[in-house]
Structure 1
């Protein structure tokens, strides 16, 4: 297999929130590495492979998640300079509701506060929340949900995404985010794509796909919520762009049979996960794998031969399905 689909998130040098970011110079080096060693792949190459039950030609395709400002200011500019394109997967909550998902707020407050202080902030605020209680520590996650995170970060993410009710998690993170960062609308203006930028990118050959509205773990919400998250993001982008949206990227890479059933109601032809298990064919059209940027030079030392999955652990085979799980160290 000599075809690589790579996913990017933050690409920045100026990093006041200390998020896990790829430096711009490393992104440029990585682009040059791909150009020097592979041919560009285009979305239609993947579509043809799926429809013909065959492998696409050798090459690389870049994808960008979450609709971050650097996807316009950095990635778009550098791709155009090199005659390349990419698929961009923005969440749309900042476009339709003036807010950003819990995942983005959690990344920022973790970067600003550090793990120890964030743990204490969460425990203090949960203790005083109307639906909270006193805990000695953040409960241990019963499963790993992201291979790239250490265990303490795993525990916080599981606690916020699965143990607590969604509105409680949002109350806690909104309170901490406002205290640490300030006004969310100002943060959005500085850090997320606008409709104007999306339209310019689209008009100049960049491809857009759905990535949900609020970036939930789709396996943890009911069917109606899945349908809203998937179809609303696709339909909103399609209406904005005046174009058919053929691609979708699962938040965190988690999906189940219902997600694929819902995608079957749309014009989406391919859906992407977060693990590098890449297979092509009609039965895999809604489970196309992707590599993380850390697999490749100059970031990764092993290069593209490393096929160990580095994305989300839970998937269609082992989805995480329920919120409100019990934890035993409450007082």
Structure 2
């Protein structure tokens, strides 16, 4: 059995031109592919396999993190239409506090205003996913003054 993890599965929102996500139609094509090379498990089959401790070869189980509204509005309906299910991990803090998670605030801010390339020193390269998303939706690149050839300099402030 292969678990495939998803976060943001949504449709394009022009108010979030820099947001990084998997388009809902692409998600559906991924499900089609899983079904062409294997199959999607039913909830009953999945639970039975867990109880027995037996593997399910060539079976895919999609998982969804963070309890996002699109999971209820788009994803759950698509899975139900296909006669399958997903495992949804829902954080309790937003239910207890009435506030979205800080990580989602950051994603929404970056999705609305951009963030430019991000140097990832542990990999030795630049993260450019936001750049690809901008180009995909025809949003002009915002000049940052930083070249991918020029690694950022360490701050000298204290």
Query: TM over 0.5, yes or no?
Result: yes
Check if 1:93 corresponds to 2:93.
yes
Whole-angstrom distance in 2 between the partners of 1:141 and 1:57: 36
Whole-angstrom distance in 2 between the partners of 1:5 and 1:14: 26
Whole-angstrom distance in 2 between the partners of 1:64 and 1:20: 16
- 2:11 matched residue in structure 1: 13
Whole-angstrom distance in 1 between the partners of 2:62 and 2:10: 17
Does the CA-based 8 Å contact 1:45-1:56 persist in structure 2?
no
Does the CA-based 8 Å contact 2:37-2:58 persist in structure 1?
no
Does the CA-based 8 Å contact 1:61-1:86 persist in structure 2?
yes
1:179-231 deviation line (CA, Å, top 9, x unaligned)? xxxxxxxxxxxxxxxxxxxxxxxxxxxxxxxxxxxxxxxxxxxxxxxxxxxxx
Whole-angstrom distance in 2 between the partners of 1:79 and 1:35: 12
5+ residue gaps, structure 1: 120-139, 154-326
Shift of 1:55: 4.0
- 2:156 matched residue in structure 1: 329
Measured at CA, do residues 328 and 35 of structure 1 come closer, stay the same or move farther in structure 2, by a change above 3 Å? same
Measured at CA, do residues 102 and 143 of structure 1 come closer, stay the same or move farther in structure 2, by a change above 3 Å? farther
Check if 1:103 corresponds to 2:103.
yes
Shift of 1:87: 0.3
Output aligned runs, 1:269-308, within 5 Å.
none
Whole-angstrom distance in 2 between the partners of 1:24 and 1:37: 20
DSSP-derived class of the 1:115 partner: coil
DSSP-derived class of the 1:329 partner: coil
Shift of 1:39: 2.2
TM-score w.r.t. length of structure 2: 0.66
Does the CA-based 8 Å contact 1:48-1:56 persist in structure 2?
no
Higher percent of residues as helix: 1
Output aligned runs, 1:1-331, within 5 Å.
3-15=1-13, 16-17=15-16, 18-41=18-41, 42=43, 43-44=46-47, 47-48=50-51, 51=53, 55-116=55-116, 143=122, 150=127, 329-331=156-158
* Higher RCO, Cα 8 Å, sep 6+: 2
Shift of 1:95: 1.0
Whole-angstrom distance in 1 between the partners of 2:100 and 2:49: 31
Whole-angstrom distance in 2 between the partners of 1:108 and 1:76: 22
DSSP-derived class of the 2:25 partner: helix
- Aligned residue pair count: 128
Whole-angstrom distance in 1 between the partners of 2:56 and 2:62: 15
RMSD, aligned CA = 3.1
DSSP-derived class of the 2:40 partner: coil
- 1:252 matched residue in structure 2: none
